[in-house]
Amino acid sequence: MITTSFFLFAFTVLVNGFACKDAKLVQANGFFFSGLHLMGNTSNAVGSQATPVTVAQLPGLNTPGILMARIDFAPWGINPPHTHPRATEILTVIEGSIQVGFVTSNPENRLINKVLEKGDVFVFPEGLVHFQRNIGYGNAIAIAIVGLSSQNPDVITVANAIFGAKPDIPNDLLAKAFQADVKVVDQIQSKF
C-alpha cells in the first residue's frame, strides 16, 4: 500500500526578520527532515511505496512550494498512472532500472516513455497522466521532486478515481467511455 501523507504547514509568518515578530523562535528543526535513506515497505498490490519528505514550506503567496519523496519499487513494482493537476515532477533514479512514461493530452494521446538507469533524471510535465515501473531484477529507488504551481500538488490515481469512486460512477457510462461491456466495468469496480 502506498501511503503518502504530506504534512504541509502553511505558516503565515516566517524567517525574515522584520515582517514577523517570531523570527527569534525560528529553529533549524523546522527546516529539517531525516530518514530519506530508509527503504519504504513495498509489500502491497502495486509493489511500490512513496516516502514523502515533510519539511516545512515557505508560505509566500507567490512562492512555489516544493515537495519530494523517495519511491521504492519491488522488482516489477509499479507506480500506477496518476496525475498532479498543478505540479511538474522530476524523477531521479538512485538505484535500479525504471521505465517511465507520460501521455500527452487530447487529441494526440502519445505515450512518451524511456528506461532510466542510475543517475538518470526525467521530467513529467504538469497535469499529464504518468507512471513508473521497475524493469530490473532487484529493487529500485527513485527520488521524486514535485514542484507546485499552487500550494497543493494533489494526486489523482486514475484507476481509483474512475473505478474506485464512492459511490460508483454509473457503470453504463463507464462502459461507454471505455467501450467495454458493463460486466467488465462491474468486475473492475468490484476490486476497488
Among residues 41, 137, 138, 178, which is the contact residue for a second copy, using CB under 8 A?
Answer: 178
Residues 45-64 that bind a second copy (CB under 8 A): 45-47, 53, 55-64
Among residues 131, 140, 141, 171, which is the contact residue for a second copy, using CB under 8 A?
Answer: 131
Identify the DSSP state of 57.
-
Q: Cα angle at 34 between 30 and 38, to 5 degrees?
A: 160
Among residues 74, 97, 98, 101, which is the contact residue for a second copy, using CB under 8 A?
Answer: 101
Q: Which helix (H) or strand (E) segment is 132 a member of?
A: strand 130-134
Interface mask toward a second copy for 75-94; x: CB under 8 A: ---x-xxxx-xx-x-x-x-x
Q: Measured over all CA atoms, what is the biggest interatomic distance in the chain, rounded to whole angstroms?
A: 64
Interface mask toward a second copy for 143-172; x: CB under 8 A: x-x-xxxxxx-xxxxxxxxxxxxxxxxx--
**Angle separating helix axes 182-191 and 171-178, nearest 10 degrees:** 110
Nearest-approach distance from CB 89 to a second copy, in angstroms = 9
Secondary structure of residue 79 in the 3-state scheme = strand
Distance of alpha carbon 137 from alpha carbon 155, whole angstroms: 28
Nearest-approach distance from CB 53 to a second copy, in angstroms = 5
Among residues 41, 105, 137, 138, which is the contact residue for a second copy, using CB under 8 A?
Answer: 105
The answer for residues whose C-beta is within 8 angstroms of residue 85's C-beta and 6 or more apart is: 126, 127, 153, 154, 156
Nearest-approach distance from CB 90 to a second copy, in angstroms = 6
Residues 8-47 that bind a second copy (CB under 8 A): 8-12, 14-19, 23-24, 26-29, 31-38, 44-47
Give yes or no for a contact between 72 and 49, defined as CB atoms under 8 angstroms apart.
Answer: yes
Nearest-approach distance from CB 136 to a second copy, in angstroms = 15
Give yes or no for a contact between 53 and 68, defined as CB atoms under 8 angstroms apart.
Answer: yes
The reply on whether position 182 binds a second copy by CB under 8 A is no
Nearest-approach distance from CB 186 to a second copy, in angstroms = 11
Cβ-based neighbour number of residue 109 at 10 Å: 9
Among residues 4, 41, 137, 138, which is the contact residue for a second copy, using CB under 8 A?
Answer: 4
